[in-house]
Structure 1
Amino acid sequence: MKPIKILIPSDFSIQSEYAYILVKKLEEKLPVEIHFIHVLNTPETVTIDDSGKITTCGDIAPAFVQKQYDLAVQKFEEFKKRIGGYVHTHIRSGKITEGIISFAEKNNFDLIAMGTKGVEGLRDKIGGTETQLVVRKSKVPVLSLSCNRSQLEIKNILFVHDFLADEDFDISLMKRIREAFQCKIHMLHILTSHTKAQDVESIKAKMESFAKENQLENYSVNVLKDKDVEQGVFHFDQMNSMDIICIGTHGKGSLFYSSIAEKLVNHMYKPLITFRLYEK
């Protein structure tokens, strides 16, 4: 079976280690290939090749970049000694979000796994977390979490989707996790004020059709009425205690608006897998 190629962006914080711990949990039942990347936040005129050679155009002293690079190498070596296992490590330069996404897409990664500190209030609207920005822009699915999930038992996956929308997306990763851990997929459609109650049976029929088309096994169909999708996800999880939540995003966040997936990244404490939605 082909390994799942996973990229873990690292700033050497505890959140990065949380991501690694959860990836190791996946490794209990799935073949995985683990890579770490650290992006030095430098001007675009600074480049670092695969051998570690640093090139600048005079905007920043090469010696300064070299010092930051050497420190990152040292921290990666210390980390590898501590975990006692082999992982691939990479150091790049440039803008952090773009560096992570570009590396993941160019090297055909199946998943980006990131820890997040989460944000509240005005910071949520203005900047958000690095994880939120990666979720917005990445075509590669993103697994995010905000705390240690070393004791996680993957038994129930919540798959949140608008089953009335005509969209393309790839749920192969979710299916691989379900098959490996023999867990149950709970499909959830949130009814908001714009959806008529009499549409429930039609929605459930579409969900059953979706399950058949995608050859899903061990699943349930659920329709829940709530204030909005974010609140619906929180309330369903409170009632049913999900282990991992999967939801798509169109990647259309902006300065004063973030998608439902991005809001969940910052406010949800359960591991979250986001994937790109494409309008047909």
Structure 2
Amino acid sequence: MTNILVPYDFSDQAANALRFALQFDETQKRTVHVLHVVELMSRPFLNIEEEVLTDLKEQVESKVISRFNDEVLGMFSLKDIRIEVQVAFGHISQTILKFAHSGNMDLIIMGTRGVSGMREILIGSNTEKITRASQIPVIAVKSFVKPDRIKNIVFPNTLMSDADEDLIVKIKALQHHLGATLHIVWINTPTNFKKDAVTREELKRFSKWYMFKDFTINIYNDINEEAGIINFTHMINADMIALGTHGRKGLAHLLNGSLAEDLVNHADVPVWTYTIKESD
């Protein structure tokens, strides 16, 4: 892991994500890119002189660096870490995604407050939007946890839809970086019920085919997938949830929603997501 992007908005959750990033994958030399996005909402801002924007950018960068120095740097050894602080102007989620994809980032680590109710349905969070659209893995963090304390990762599995080579490679890499046990789980729900004996054999074949190591296979019954994943995570005291998402947009997203985005909003452990590329 060489390039980690951390969107930073001065919130406690963003600070938690930054602390997480500074300690993630400590065996590797890496650059942590701290990005603060200033969203210029009103139309008059479009005519602001470049000199004014430059001054504003410098002021915000100074504030970010000051907060960064005061709240973060004193807590950690920065061996093998290069830190770059940048300020950009634009729509928050779109600017973060553009920066991530044009800058060859390997991972986005960002804080999430989580949203619920009508706000979740109509607006969603920036983390949710980035989870949906990012072409690179995203880790959403609410409360701070040390990466080296993550020893149990829940991998919710729907067998056929999760049988994606790229996803499996990245899940294994995550597991290796953290030195964690992977808990592969099928969530049995009333609307998607399968007999345990059948599911267990399918999970065994799935695990053998992809040659997982240091893993368990599990079946958990609950009212829906999201509740099942969260409750199973609590039951085994897992430290992270990792799953693929299909990044639905438009009407498909409105009608079907996204399990990954729901978990980003509602889970209380870090959630790692990766968008599965649709086959042609």
Q: TM-score range by the shorter chain?
A: 0.7 to 0.9
Report whether the alignment pairs 1:11 with 2:9: yes
SS in 2 for 1:158: strand
Counterpart CA distance in 2 for 1:210 and 1:108 is 32
Aligned pair partner of 1:252 in 232, 237, 248: 248
Structure 2, unpaired ranges of 5+: none
- Is the CA contact (8 Å cut-off) linking 2:220 and 2:228 kept in structure 1? yes
Corresponding residue pairs, total: 267
How many angstroms does 1:202 deviate by?
A: 3.5
Q: 1:211 to 1:151 in 2, by over 3 A?
A: closer
1:1-280 to structure 2, matched below 5 A, reads: 3-42=1-40, 59-62=47-50, 64-82=52-70, 83=73, 85=78, 86-150=82-146, 153-165=149-161, 167-168=163-164, 169-198=166-195, 200-253=196-249, 254=253, 258-280=257-279
SS in 2 for 1:122: helix
Counterpart CA distance in 1 for 2:157 and 2:57 is 42
- Superposition CA RMSD, Å: 2.7
- Is the CA contact (8 Å cut-off) linking 1:18 and 1:146 kept in structure 2? yes
How many angstroms does 1:7 deviate by?
A: 0.5
Q: 1:118 to 1:26 in 2, by over 3 A?
A: same
- Is the CA contact (8 Å cut-off) linking 1:135 and 1:251 kept in structure 2? yes
Counterpart CA distance in 2 for 1:208 and 1:30 is 33
Counterpart CA distance in 2 for 1:90 and 1:151 is 24
- Is the CA contact (8 Å cut-off) linking 1:127 and 1:255 kept in structure 2? no
How many angstroms does 1:149 deviate by?
A: 1.7
Counterpart CA distance in 2 for 1:45 and 1:66 is 18
How many angstroms does 1:184 deviate by?
A: 0.6
- Identity rate of aligned residues, in percent? 28
Counterpart CA distance in 2 for 1:59 and 1:7 is 30
How many angstroms does 1:38 deviate by?
A: 1.6
TM-score by length of 2: 0.84
- Is the CA contact (8 Å cut-off) linking 2:36 and 2:88 kept in structure 1? yes
How many angstroms does 1:190 deviate by?
A: 1.0
How many angstroms does 1:153 deviate by?
A: 1.1
SS in 1 for 2:242: strand
Counterpart CA distance in 1 for 2:105 and 2:228 is 31
Counterpart CA distance in 1 for 2:150 and 2:64 is 29
Amino acid at match of 1:60: I
Amino acid at match of 2:215: Y
SS in 2 for 1:278: coil
Q: 1:44 to 1:161 in 2, by over 3 A?
A: farther
Counterpart CA distance in 1 for 2:147 and 2:133 is 30
Q: Pick the structure with more helix per residue.
A: 2
Q: Which residue of 2 aligns with 1:51?
A: none
Q: 1:124 to 1:196 in 2, by over 3 A?
A: closer
Counterpart CA distance in 2 for 1:43 and 1:242 is 40
Counterpart CA distance in 2 for 1:171 and 1:130 is 26
Structure 1, unpaired ranges of 5+: 47-55
Q: Which residue of 2 aligns with 1:50?
A: none
- Is the CA contact (8 Å cut-off) linking 2:20 and 2:147 kept in structure 1? no
Counterpart CA distance in 1 for 2:162 and 2:154 is 20
How many angstroms does 1:128 deviate by?
A: 1.2
Moved more, 213-222 or 31-40: 31-40
How many angstroms does 1:110 deviate by?
A: 1.5
- Is the CA contact (8 Å cut-off) linking 2:156 and 2:243 kept in structure 1? yes
Residues 17-60 of structure 1 show CA distances to partners (whole Å, capped at 9, x for unaligned) of 100111233234454331111222137999xxxxxxxxx9x533
How many angstroms does 1:105 deviate by?
A: 1.3
Counterpart CA distance in 2 for 1:14 and 1:236 is 27
